[in-house]
Amino acid sequence: MKTKSWLILSILMIGFLINLPFVSSQEYNSLDLENIEALSAGENGTPHCLGLGSLDCPVSYVKVQVVSYY
Amino acid sequence: MKPSIYLLIALELSFFLTACSQNKISSVDFPATEQLFVSEVKPIDGVSMRYPFRVRKNDSCLYVMDLHASEYYVHQFEYPSMKHRRSFAKRGKGPGELLDAENIRLNARADCWILDANNTTLDCFQNNGDSLFQGIVLDKRLIRSLDFDLYADSLFIVPDYTGTHRFDILGPDGKIRESRGQIPLKKKDEDIPAPVYAQAWRGFLDYNPETGLLAIATQLGEVIEIYDVPGDSLVKVIYGKEGEPRFQYRGGYAVPDGIMGYSDVWIGKENIYALFWGHSFKDIRQNQSIEGGNRIQVFDLAGNPVKQYFLDRYITGFCIDEANGIITGLDVNSNQPVIKFCHGRPDPPSHAYR
């Protein structure tokens, strides 16, 4: 009985761990780090628009490749 | 067995079921796929473009719009020879000049209409003229239209950027006649203003007067809406695997997140065609993606998936000769951007250009 209980508990724990958010060990480049800092810095500031593309920059009204937040 | 074990089992089952339902994002399964290879490169001599974005064709000419023109926004070529006929719609701040060009449309007389979002005008260049023939100042209530199509005889359809509707019908004077539809949000955050949602749900549209259908394909995410304009009804909302546009609400703006979605859409007599990118903004920021999309999704006029084409190039815009199975695309990564694909070609040709 005890063995059975432990077995069930183990299965449940495995299932729980599988569904935990996966945290990758990827390295963040400098732009990602700046983005993370910006997100934690609050909602003030304007978007930053980079490159040549088709996204509409809401600040400069120019078409850009990337719109990010600083 | 102890009651606590049963409780654990119940909790775990509920956890699993929740996880499963979250993973069931609405997805479109295409019953068929087809690889398309470039069948012909249409060389352009003497015309340099920085970002060809829109291509239109009539019986005798092909028009290409450069989104980042240094001098002229539109270039006209005789077709199929590709002999350069003229360039028009000069970039500038002077009279008759454009600050910006979002899209071009040809009417039955081969006049070329251009949307200048930064001047908030719709400008018409006649078939046999190089200078601006007519400029219509758009209704200020539109805020800033980023796409358009011709509707009925002298009207226009534009996406709505106030966020209170989905699209507007404009009169010949550029004033709003009707506003219709709603952004098909599954869940709305009341703390986010409507214009921010409109930014995130920015869509490219196409209207076919023969079918009366309007399609709007989102630039972020993977959503296509189909409207019956004369019937004033929503036909279908197609949610692709990537779902609704994702964004961060920062500083009063919608900062794109998730993926780049569609960049062009076209309604034919039989099907609806949408050009899909699918690049994540993470990859785009890290320069790990090619500019353009290499998938053309095909739906029937009721919005049912028919087929998905995989191209061997990445394009930003296209036009389709549905009867002859020819797709003309714009490869912004190539110095010869105008390329042709044919349906059902068995063997890939050797490439003369890249």
Q: pLDDT truncated to tens, each residue of chain A (70 aa)?
A: 577 787 777 777 776 665 544 433 333 333 443 344 334 333 456 789 999 999 999 989 999 999 988 6
CB contact (8 A) between residue A63 and residue B68: yes
Decide: helix, strand or coil at residue B21.
helix
CB contact (8 A) between residue A19 and residue B5: no
Structure tokens at B136: 């219509």
- Average pLDDT, integer, range B114-135: 92
Please report the pLDDT score of residue B3 as a whole number. 56
With CA atoms as reference, the chain B residue closest to A47 would be: B255
Please report the pLDDT score of residue A27 as a whole number. 36
- Alpha carbon of A69: minimum distance to chain B alpha carbons (Å): 7
| CA distances for B297 relative to B115, B190, B311, angstroms | 26, 33, 11
- Average pLDDT, integer, range B230-246: 96
Chain B residues with CB inside 8 Å of A5's CB?
Answer: 1-2, 5
Number of A–B residue contacts, CB under 8 Å? 84
- Average pLDDT, integer, range B103-115: 96
With CA atoms as reference, the chain B residue closest to A60 would be: B118
Q: Which residue has the higher pLDDT, B9 or B327?
A: B327
Structure tokens at B223: 């959503």
CB contact (8 A) between residue B68 and residue A65: no
Structure tokens at B1: 């067995």
Structure tokens at B41: 């490169």
Total-model pTM: 0.82
Please report the pLDDT score of residue B8 as a whole number. 61
With CA atoms as reference, the chain B residue closest to A2 would be: B1
- Average pLDDT, integer, range B85-94: 96
Mean pLDDT of chain B: 91
Q: Are B147 and B161 in contact (CB under 8 A)?
A: no
This complex has an ipTM of 0.86
Please report the pLDDT score of residue A10 as a whole number. 72
Q: Are B210 and B179 in contact (CB under 8 A)?
A: no
Confidence grade of residue B10 (pLDDT, cut at 50, 70, 90) = low
With CA atoms as reference, the chain A residue closest to B19 would be: A19
Confidence grade of residue B131 (pLDDT, cut at 50, 70, 90) = confident
Decide: helix, strand or coil at residue B240.
coil
Contact residues for B74 (Cβ-Cβ < 8 A; gap 6+): B63, B64, B65, B66, B87, B88, B89, B101, B104, B112, B114, B125
Report how far residue B268's alpha carbon sits from residue B153's, in angstroms, rounded to the nearest whole number: 19
Instruction: Say whether residue B284 is in contact with chain A using an 8 A CB cutoff.
Output: yes
Choose the mutation target among B249, B275, B285, B315 for the interface with A, i.e. most A CBs under 10 Å: B285
Please report the pLDDT score of residue B2 as a whole number. 62
Q: Are B232 and B205 in contact (CB under 8 A)?
A: no
- Average pLDDT, integer, range B44-69: 96
A-facing residues of B in 292-331 (CB < 8 A) are 316
Instruction: Say whether residue B254 is in contact with chain A using an 8 A CB cutoff.
Output: yes
Q: Which residue has the higher pLDDT, B100 or A69?
A: B100
Q: Give the lowest-confidence range in A22-26, B200-204, B235-239, B248-252.
A: A22-26
Chain B residues with CB inside 8 Å of A53's CB?
Answer: 51, 291
CB contact (8 A) between residue B8 and residue A53: no
Instruction: Say whether residue B51 is in contact with chain A using an 8 A CB cutoff.
Output: yes
Chain A residues with CB inside 8 Å of B248's CB?
Answer: 39, 69
Contact residues for B240 (Cβ-Cβ < 8 A; gap 6+): B26, B27, B28, B221, B222, B223, B224, B261, B276, B297
Across B328-349, b (16+ Cβ under 10 Å) vs e yields: bbbbbebeebbbebeeeeeeee
Q: Is B194 exposed, middle or buried (0-12, 13-18, 19+ CB in 10 A)?
A: middle
Please report the pLDDT score of residue B12 as a whole number. 58
**Nearest residue to B50 via CA among B101, B123, B95:** B101
Percentage of chain B lying above the pLDDT 90 cut: 83
Q: What is the pLDDT of residues B13-27, one digit of tens each?
A: 555 554 444 332 346
Q: Give the lowest-confidence range in A38-52, B38-52, B93-107, B142-156.
A: A38-52
Q: What is the pLDDT of residues B310-350, one digit of tens each?
A: 999 999 999 999 999 999 999 999 999 999 999 754 444 43
Instruction: Say whether residue B291 is in contact with chain A using an 8 A CB cutoff.
Output: yes
Q: In angstroms, how far is CA B6 from the centroid of its own chain?
A: 53
CB contact (8 A) between residue A63 and residue B67: yes
CB contact (8 A) between residue B67 and residue A61: no
Whether B221 has a pLDDT exceeding 80, the answer reads: yes
Q: Are B114 and B96 in contact (CB under 8 A)?
A: no
Instruction: Say whether residue B6 is in contact with chain A using an 8 A CB cutoff.
Output: no
State the DSSP string of B46-108.
S---S-EEEEEE-SSEEEEEETT-SSEEEEEEETTT--EEEEEEEBSSSTT-BS----EEE-T
Chain B residues with CB inside 8 Å of A38's CB?
Answer: 250
With CA atoms as reference, the chain A residue closest to B195 would be: A58
Please report the pLDDT score of residue B27 as a whole number. 60
